[in-house]
């Protein structure tokens, strides 16, 4: 994977149900998803997870996605790392109460936690 568009396509291909939920959020904010604007789609992806957090949806639904991001971070370039960090991780847990965030935080890989804490200076709990 070399570009954010590659990452966008990989997530959409591997996790179609999660991508559909992100698309619904994206359409409300930005309009129809377009690979040209993949970066903003990852913000929508985070926001769709936030919606599920607030609903108390089981975080295990997202374990494969979290693992995929964790694995991707191990060997990716700056462009992809910045997308995962800035567009996705920094938007996770936005306005989520601690009790709703805790089960997701507990399942989040260390690499994603590190990105979150590097930006927010604390865990979302």
* pLDDT digit string (tens) for the chain, length 125 residues: 899 999 999 999 999 999 999 999 999 999 999 999 999 999 999 999 999 999 999 999 999 999 999 999 999 999 999 999 999 999 999 999 999 999 999 999 999 999 999 999 999 99
According to the model, what pLDDT value does residue 116 have? 98
Q: Do the domain assignments include residue 69? A: yes
Helix (H, G, I), strand (E, B) or coil at 93: coil
Q: Do the domain assignments include residue 26? A: yes
Structural domain harbouring 93: 4-120
Q: Do the domain assignments include residue 82? A: yes
How big is the chain, counted in residues?
A: 125
Q: Do the domain assignments include residue 115? A: yes
Q: Do the domain assignments include residue 24? A: yes
- The number of domains in the chain is 1
Task: List b or e across 86-120, with b for residues whose CB sees 16 or more CB atoms inside 10 angstroms.
Answer: ebbbbbbbeebeeebbbebbeebeebbeebbeeee
Q: Do the domain assignments include residue 125? A: no
Q: Do the domain assignments include residue 16? A: yes
Q: What predicted TM-score, i.e. pTM, was given to this entire model?
A: 0.96
């Amino acid at each position: 994977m070399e570009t954010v568009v590659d990452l966008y396509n990989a997530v959409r291909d591997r996790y179609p149900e999660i991508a559909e939920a992100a698309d619904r959020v994206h359409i409300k904010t930005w309009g129809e998803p377009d690979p040209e604007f993949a970066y903003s789609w990852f913000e929508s992806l985070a926001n769709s997870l936030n919606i599920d957090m607030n609903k108390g949806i089981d975080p295990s639904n997202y374990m494969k996605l979290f693992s995929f991001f964790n694995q991707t971070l191990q060997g990716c370039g700056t462009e992809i790392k910045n997308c995962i960090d800035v567009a996705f991780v920094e938007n996770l847990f936005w306005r989520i109460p601690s009790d709703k965030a805790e089960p997701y935080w507990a399942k989040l890989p260390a690499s994603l936690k590190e990105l979150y804490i590097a930006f927010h200076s604390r865990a979302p709990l």
